[in-house]
Amino acid sequence: MNQHTELSGHAAIRRQVEASLRRRQVREKLFHWSGIAAVVIALTLVGIFFGTILKTGLPAFWQSTFVMDVHFDPEVVQIGPKPEPMPGESPAAYQQRFNQWQLDLGFVDFGQIIHKSIVKQLPEAAEHPDETLALVTSGELFALRDRVVADPGIIGQTVRLKLLADANVDVWLKGNIDRDLPDTQQQLSPLVRAWADQLQASGVIQNKFSTAIFMNPDSRSSLASAGLAGAFMGSLFMMIIVILLAMPIGVAAAIYLEEFAPKNRLTDLIEVNINNLAAVPSIVFGLLGAVVFIMWFNLPMSSSLVGGLVLTLMTLPTVIIATRAALKAVPPSIREAALGVGASKMQAITHHVLPLARPGILTAMIIGVAQALGETGPLLLIGMSAFVASIPATPFDQSTALPVQIYLWESNELRNFFEGRGSAAIIVLLGMMLALNAVAIWLRKRFETRW
């Protein structure tokens, strides 16, 4: 009897323990699986992120392009070669002749040439010059003009050319617009849409890889030929300025703080400042740049010089902190050995510590440049979000930057076209950043030393 209750008591406890064990193991499984789920969700997000950008951006590198014979009709292009100064001619007289020539050039109706070329492919377009020109992006008129200026011998000849189609035609042909929308909501007239389809079917309009996005500056009148070249040059100038300034200053500051600085109040102040600056939101550096460089120093607004200076200040804390880590990684035995054989402290550092820390310093620099390359906020505040239609030739010219260009394109109203164009620009930007990071990783792997 007694034994029986004892047994049943044991069994009860056993059941209880087993039940709780099952519960606990289920919980363990749940926990494990929620961890896997979190990783999978994050990786999916990464995948969706790159997937959507590639999906919208890659097709934008291919644009609807007219491939057709263009006849430079001497009747239409009545313009001589660019006048050269004649011997004995006064500069004023030459200037007058040159101005007259420029004026004549401006009156040449290149639209008519394009119209006639299209009519050859599409006879029913003969009566509708305006609609025909809606097919081709307006920048091509100037491309034709530049062609004539570069080679006057082309007049009277027929050349097979590639002309970019208008952005709206590109949108229509790629199906980036709902084809069933009523006419009032379409960007193009029914006639132009029908012609575009017809020309595509007859192979005059082809989807060709376009270099416009790499070679041209931004444009608002000829959207199909808007490109990244201006923004790229702006970014390039800024990166050069960042490298030229942030590298020596950052390394010098890191050397001082890591190797020389005595423990005193000044050093503490500097260290606190650097750590704080690393956490300051980047937009604040834009305010600083607007006030200090533009208002006080009168540097040109919207120039890549000011942009480069602002980005230098922004990246300096990053560079200093990373360089200090690189210096710290060099074991003290190296310094002690150098000091032991009679080197001065400066010699120990310049001859031994710096060469050993070089890969780390380079990595720090690349990280800083990559950070500066992707930064947009501060540039907006120093006027670099302006629309710039020319490629800047010097750091003093007005310019914009790659991320700002993305921002400008993505806020363009012709969304159907610029979503793709903007994503293409993102691909270019991400490609550059990936390349920079790959170099940083390669440097780290190549020169990594385990002490």
**Cβ neighbours around 433 below 10 Å, total:** 16
By the rule CB under 8 A, 22 interacts with other proteins: no
By the rule CB under 8 A, 442 interacts with other proteins: no
By the rule CB under 8 A, 184 interacts with other proteins: yes
Q: State which residue, 37 or 337, has the beta carbon closest to other proteins.
A: 37
d(CA 276, CA 342): 38
Q: Which of 2, 3, 31, 91 contacts other proteins by CB under 8 A?
A: 31
Site for other proteins in 224-253 (CB under 8 A): 248-250, 252-253
Q: Which of 79, 125, 429, 443 contacts other proteins by CB under 8 A?
A: 429
Gyration radius of the chain over CA positions:
33
7: region left, alpha or beta (phi > 0 left; psi from -120 to 50 alpha): alpha
Q: Which of 195, 224, 192 is nearest to 121 (CA)?
A: 195
By the rule CB under 8 A, 288 interacts with other proteins: yes
CB of 88 to other proteins, least distance (A): 26
Region of 2-10, 118-126, 329-337, 401-409 interacting with other proteins (CB under 8 A): 401-409
CB of 270 to other proteins, least distance (A): 5
CB of 86 to other proteins, least distance (A): 27
- What's the start-to-end Cα distance of the chain, in Å? 74
**3-class secondary structure, 158:** strand
Site for other proteins in 334-373 (CB under 8 A): 344-346, 370, 373
By the rule CB under 8 A, 376 interacts with other proteins: yes
Task: Note whether 425 and 401 are within 8 A (CB).
Answer: no
- Beta bridge pairs of residue 66: 163, 205
- Beta bridge pairs of residue 161: 68
Region of 84-92, 190-198, 282-290, 332-340 interacting with other proteins (CB under 8 A): 282-290
- B/e letters for 339-367, b = 16+ CB within 10 Å, e = fewer, are eeeebeeeebbeebbbebbebbbbbbbbb
Site for other proteins in 296-315 (CB under 8 A): 313
CB of 203 to other proteins, least distance (A): 25
**Cβ neighbours around 121 below 10 Å, total:** 17
Site for other proteins in 89-148 (CB under 8 A): 106-112, 129-130, 133, 138-139, 141-142
DSSP sequence for 86-145: PTT--HHHHHHHHHHHHHHHHH--HHHHHHHHHHHH-GGGGG-HHHHHTTB-THHHHHHH
Q: State which residue, 34 or 202, has the beta carbon closest to other proteins.
A: 34
Q: State which residue, 63 or 282, has the beta carbon closest to other proteins.
A: 282
By the rule CB under 8 A, 392 interacts with other proteins: no
Q: Which of 161, 437, 439, 444 contacts other proteins by CB under 8 A?
A: 437
- Total binding residues for other proteins by CB under 8 A? 116
Burial of 87 (0-12, 13-18, 19+ CB in 10 A): exposed
* Phi, psi dihedral angles at 184 (to 5 degrees): -65, -25
CB of 52 to other proteins, least distance (A): 5
Q: Which of 10, 27, 82, 351 contacts other proteins by CB under 8 A?
A: 27
**3-class secondary structure, 74:** coil
CB of 1 to other proteins, least distance (A): 34
* Phi, psi dihedral angles at 90 (to 5 degrees): -75, 150
By the rule CB under 8 A, 155 interacts with other proteins: no
Site for other proteins in 63-92 (CB under 8 A): none
CB of 333 to other proteins, least distance (A): 22
By the rule CB under 8 A, 412 interacts with other proteins: yes
Q: Which of 7, 12, 19, 48 contacts other proteins by CB under 8 A?
A: 48
By the rule CB under 8 A, 220 interacts with other proteins: yes
By the rule CB under 8 A, 19 interacts with other proteins: no
CB of 178 to other proteins, least distance (A): 4
Q: State which residue, 87 or 106, has the beta carbon closest to other proteins.
A: 106
Region of 4-12, 200-208, 218-226, 234-242 interacting with other proteins (CB under 8 A): 218-226
**Cβ neighbours around 334 below 10 Å, total:** 16
Q: Which of 319, 190, 184 is nearest to 245 (CA)?
A: 319
d(CA 284, CA 287): 5
CB of 23 to other proteins, least distance (A): 10
Q: Is the dihedral of CA 122, 127, 129, 135 positive or negative?
A: negative
